[in-house]
A = this chain, B = another copy of it.
Amino acid sequence: MRCIAIAAVTIDGKIALDAGHFSDWTSPEDKEFLHKMLDESDVVVVGNNTYKTAIEPLSKRNCIVFTASVRTSEHKSDILTYCNPASSDCIPLMEKYKKVAVLGGTQTYTYFLENDLLDELYLTIEPLVFGRGLNLFESEKNIEAHFRLESTKRLNGKGSLLLHYVRS
C-alpha cells in the first residue's frame, strides 16, 4: 500500500474557506491533474464532507469514506465503503489496494499524518490568499514529518504550482 495525499492550497496553506467550500477556486489545470491522479489510483479515501462536495466525480471510483455516521465500517456498495476511524481500524480496508489517493479534508489528511501513512504529497499552490480558512492538517500531536521535494511544475500563466513531496 502506498498512500498519496493530493491537495490544493492557497499561498497561505488553506484548503478551503470552510467545510462545504470545495474546489471552485482551483485552476482548471489542477482539476485536470487531480483527475489523472485519480485514474491512476486504486482507491480514494475521503472524509464525508469532501465526499458530498465531490460526489459526482467520485461516484464511479473505489472509495473509502471516513465518517462518524457508522459505528465501525459498512459496505454501501461494491465500490463504496464507510469507515469510522475514531472507533475502528480502517487500515485493513485500505491495505487491499496498492495505490491509495487521499483527498482530504483536514481530518482525513491529519489521520494519515498522525498514523505515519503519508508516503507522498502532491500539493498545488494556487496564487491567492484567503487570510483564514481550513488548514491542511489540524493535529494536536507533536509531529515533525520530513519530506524531500521531488519535483515542481508550473501549471499555467498566473503560476499555479504543483509540488511533489516524498516522505524522507
Residues of A at under 8 Å CB distance from B? 9, 11-14, 25, 110, 113-114, 121, 123, 125, 127-132, 135-141, 143-150, 152, 154, 158-161, 163, 165, 168
Contact = CB atoms under 8 A, between A and B. Distances in A.
Contact of A154 (B13, B128, B131, B149): B149
A146 B127 contact: yes
Contacts of A25: 144
A131 B149 contact: no
Given A140-B132, A144-B130, A11 B152 contact: no
B152 A121 contact: no
Contacts of A132: 137-140, 143
B154 A158 contact: no
A119 to B, nearest CB: 13
A150 B168 CA distance: 29
